[in-house]
Amino acid sequence: MTRAQILARLNAYERLIRLDKPIGTLLLLWPTLWAVWIASAGRPRGDVVLVFSIGTLLMRSAGCAVNDYIDRGFDGHVERTRDRPVASGEIRPWEALVVAAVLALVAFGFVLFLNPLAIKLSFAALFVAATYPFTKRFFWFPQAYLGIAFGFGIPMAFGAVLNALPPVCWWLLLANIFWALAYDTEYAMVDREDDKRVGIRTAAVALGRHDVAGVVSFYAATLAVLAGVGALAGLGIPYYAGLGVAAGLMGYHWSLIRGRTREGCFRAFMHNNWVGAAIFAGIALSYPVPGLW
């Protein structure tokens, strides 16, 4: 192979696992870090943070490869996804499966550094991640299932740190489900007409003209559940200030999606990284920092 061909192949593999689009990794990482900090009472071990950070990147990448394999018959008919490497023929379907398997195995290698409960939960996490793409065939709100897939780092984090799954763990997972319903509905609004044509089921299609109201309702539910999480976890004023910042960002998203343009909806989806960051900052600042207070 020539140098140009090798670079083209590397570029195709990079796009397969979305290294060029880190937003998915960040939306998966933030709730995991929320859980790590709460479970650790603000004093997480460095090795635990490292394992979950690397594992998040690897599993998100593996999930993208599996998703592109399963959706290869649809992606070519959707404007936003027609150039994905499996749909365009740059990468053969079996290659995508091999890439996914290798990444999942490497991620599992990192999980082995955690305790038995976290290791057991990793198998459930793998099942949810691998089956998510199928939900778009029969379930009108696959975004809820995505919220479980993107939030499974939450019970794994509590399991790894506390060797237990207290109620606050499940409330935090519920908050993440509502958040995923909000941001992934914004994402689905970008593809709504294409999804209707090819028969993909999404919340944006199901909600129809009530899509904007649906997103706002999902955001409101996210904040309400997170407020309860703060009470359960004994978090302080910085946490609720973080929720206030997140609420302001969500209001900005409403201004972006109310016109239902592809550009506005996609910008709102991408901007959710800052929502996750604001919530994390509130959690982190709610615990005493050695040497400061």
Mean pLDDT for the stretch of residues 139-150: 92
Mean pLDDT for the stretch of residues 203-209: 91
Q: Which residue's structure tokens are 């399991």?
A: 159
- What pLDDT, in 10s, does the model give residues 211-270? 999 999 999 999 999 999 999 999 999 999 999 999 999 999 999 999 999 999 999 999
Let me know if residue 292 belongs to a domain. Answer: no
Q: Which of 227, 199, 211 is nearest to 74 (CA)?
A: 199
Q: Residue 292 pLDDT > 60, yes or no?
A: no
Let me know if residue 73 belongs to a domain. Answer: yes
Let me know if residue 3 belongs to a domain. Answer: no
Please tell me the pTM assigned to this model: 0.93
Let me know if residue 103 belongs to a domain. Answer: yes
Let me know if residue 267 belongs to a domain. Answer: yes
Let me know if residue 293 belongs to a domain. Answer: no
Q: Please count the structural domains in the chain.
A: 1
Let me know if residue 18 belongs to a domain. Answer: yes
Mean pLDDT for the stretch of residues 39-49: 95
The dihedral built from the CA positions of residue 32, 142, 144 and 161, taken in this order, carries a sign that is: negative
- What pLDDT, in 10s, does the model give residues 173-182? 999 999 999 9
Let me know if residue 5 belongs to a domain. Answer: no
Q: Residue 290 pLDDT > 80, yes or no?
A: no
Contact 155, 121 (CB under 8 A): yes
pLDDT of residue 177: 97
C-alpha–C-alpha distance, residues 73 and 116, integer Å: 39
pLDDT of residue 289: 64
Question: What's the chain's average pLDDT?
Answer: 93
CATH number at residue 69: 1.10.357.140
Residue 154 belongs to what domain range? 10-285
C-alpha–C-alpha distance, residues 149 and 23, integer Å: 15
- What pLDDT, in 10s, does the model give residues 100-122? 999 999 999 999 999 999 999 99
